[in-house]
Amino acid sequence: MEHLVNAKVKDIQISGIRKIANLVAGYPDAVSLTIGQPDFPTPVHIMEAAKRAIDAQRTVYTPNPGLPELREAVSAFVRGKYGLHYRGTDEVIVTNGASQALDIALRTVLTEGDEVILPGPIYPGYEPLVKLSGGVPVYADTRGSGFKLTAELLEPLLTERTKAIILCYPSNPTGRVMTQEEQEAMAQLLREKEVFVISDEIYSELVYDIPYRSISSLAGMRERTIVINGLSKSHSMTGWRIGFTLAPAEITKHMVKVHQYNVTCASSISQYAALEALTAGYDDALPMRDEYCKRRDYVYERLTAMGMTLEKPEGAFYIFPSIERYGLSSMEFTMKLLEEQRVAVVPGDAFSVYGEGYIRISYAYGQEVLERGMDGLEAMVKKL
């Protein structure tokens, strides 16, 4: 019966990140720098809030878009942190993680054949969602612009079929962040276009060197932007599966319909934990961010000392050095590193063809793990 399966689904490949993570399971002695998952535990006060919700039997459906008090907390959080103004009543949806938020955003705005511009290299989760929604991915090659989608790169790619642009900064896999000048130039280009901007800001709390600013805060951008965010990275709540969308009411009312028939609502227990995270845990991300910054500096300095070519990330917890000089494909380099030094990284081609010639290193790991990983990488590149 497999021949009856939706061709769009059959065409989708398992994420290259997961492929390499599964492969590493066969090397129990390997140091893994693969997965972008915070190594900090969920803060205790958030877990206690979830326990209280269970004890109070708050285990029933919530309103489809989420608990009203949680939506108001989301509204207050982004207003206080980033100067964004979205009403909790009708401009916020609580989702099952940022991934589901992206899914409902794309399914709401795309029709068959619509083009969606993606900056490559890019996290592999976007393209399948675009295709499943009937869209056509169009890649912008950002390798020559420091891994950032600029207005100059974007303009020639805009066509009458362009329906949306995905911005994902801080970036996975590069850790790059758009500057205010780059955002202003992008906004100037898009203000007169009937194009949606889907801004994935899941790493917004993990920005090191410059204040974070959402493109939605710029004049003329709010009405065309769908902001995606969540608590997985900021509050180390990956398994709790809480994300959210922020968009004008006239867009949100349609996304709610997709969300309703997709999942009904996010987990009630996780929503009460999220309420605690966004209120009592308003600044929970700050000590984690400071630690990631130290790790960023350590890994950057080690890679630079090895002679590797790379851009210094301003956010998230990834770094994306070039390995082109070694004459190996990204997968060949990754496998050689794993087999010879027992160090696991992600090959750059997992992040589109524009990632070939690079590797992604996650520094969401403790200092001892990072030191072992860098020692193994250095040992190998010295031989090449």
Residue 172 pLDDT:
98
* Signed CA dihedral, 257, 260, 263, 265: sign only: positive
DSSP-derived 3-state class of residue 6: coil
Contacts with 111 (C-beta within 8 Å, 6 or more apart), sequence order: 134, 163
| CA dist., res. 358 & res. 320, Å (int) | 6
- Least confident range of 6-10, 61-65, 310-314: 6-10
Check whether 208 has a pLDDT greater than 90. yes
CB atoms within 10 A of CB 44: 8
Residue 25 pLDDT:
81
Q: 343 falls in which pLDDT band (50, 70, 90)?
A: very high
Check whether 242 has a pLDDT greater than 80. yes
Q: 26 falls in which pLDDT band (50, 70, 90)?
A: confident
Check whether 308 has a pLDDT greater than 80. yes
Check whether 18 has a pLDDT greater than 80. no
| CA dist., res. 220 & res. 246, Å (int) | 16
The residue with greater pLDDT, 144 or 209, is 144
Q: Where in the chain is the domain with CATH 3.90.1150.10?
A: 2-42+285-383
pTM for the model stands at 0.96
Check whether 186 has a pLDDT greater than 90. yes
Domain 58-279's class?
alpha beta
Check whether 307 has a pLDDT greater than 80. yes
* Signed CA dihedral, 324, 325, 328, 330: sign only: negative
Residue 33 pLDDT:
96
Q: Where in the chain is the domain with CATH 3.40.640.10?
A: 58-279
Check whether 11 has a pLDDT greater than 90. no
| Rounded average pLDDT over 164-189 | 98
Residue 21 pLDDT:
80
Domain 2-42+285-383's class?
alpha beta
- Least confident range of 23-32, 33-42, 79-88, 185-194: 23-32
Check whether 132 has a pLDDT greater than 90. yes
CB atoms within 10 A of CB 280: 14
| CA dist., res. 369 & res. 363, Å (int) | 9
Residue 278 pLDDT:
98
| Rounded average pLDDT over 197-220 | 96
Cβ pair 313, 175 in contact under 8 A: yes
| CA dist., res. 230 & res. 228, Å (int) | 7
Instruction: Specify the residue for token string 């801080």.
Output: 170
* Signed CA dihedral, 111, 267, 122, 195: sign only: positive
- Counting residues of the chain whose pLDDT is more than 70, the rounded percentage is 100
| CA dist., res. 158 & res. 13, Å (int) | 27
| CA dist., res. 248 & res. 198, Å (int) | 13
